[in-house]
Amino acid sequence: METIKNYLEAMFANLPNTVEVKNAKDELLSMMEDKYTELINEGKPENEAVGIVISEFGNLDELAESLGIATVINQEDESTDRRMLSTDEVINFVADYTRRRFVLAFGVMMCIFAPIGPIMFSALGETIGFGRIELVGVLFLFVFAAIGVGAIVFSAFMNNEWKFMDKELCTIDLSTAEAIARSKSENQMTRGLYLTIGIVLCIISIIPVIVLDTVFSSGLSFITEGIGPSFIFIGAGIGVLLIQMSSAKDAAYSKLLSLNDVNTVAGNYEPVKKERKNYVSSAAKDIMSMYWKIVLCIYLIASFTSFNWGSTWLIWPIAGVLRKPIEKILCADRG
Partner 1 sequence: MIEISSDVIRGYNDTIILFILLDEPSYGYEISKRIRSLSEDKYIIKETTLYSAFTRMEKNGYIESYSQNAENGKKRTYYRITQLGKEYYLEKCAEWNLTKEVVEKFIRGDK
- Return residues touching partner 1 (CB under 8 A): 24, 27-28, 30-32, 34-35, 38, 56-60, 62-63, 65-67
Residues 322 and 287 sit within 8 Å (Cβ to Cβ): no
Nearer to partner 1, 38 or 161 (CB): 38
List the beta strands (DSSP E) in the chain.
Answer: 83-85, 170-172
Please state, as a whole number, how many other Cβ atoms lie within 10 Å of the Cβ of residue 32: 20
Dist. CA 314–CA 298, nearest whole Å: 12
Q: What are the Cα distances from residue 106, in Å, to 62, 78, 245?
A: 56, 43, 10
Pairing mode, if any, of strands 170-172 and 83-85?
Answer: parallel
Positive or negative torsion for Cα 90, 96, 100, 103:
positive
SS3 172: strand
The answer to whether residues 173 and 84 touch, using CB atoms and an 8 Å cutoff, is yes
37 to each of 11, 28, 328, how far by Cα in Å? Answer: 21, 14, 50
Hey, what amino acid is at 295? Answer: V
Other residues' Cβ atoms within 10 Å of the Cβ of residue 9: 15
Q: What share of the chain is helix, strand, coil (3-state, %, to 5)?
A: 75, 5, 20
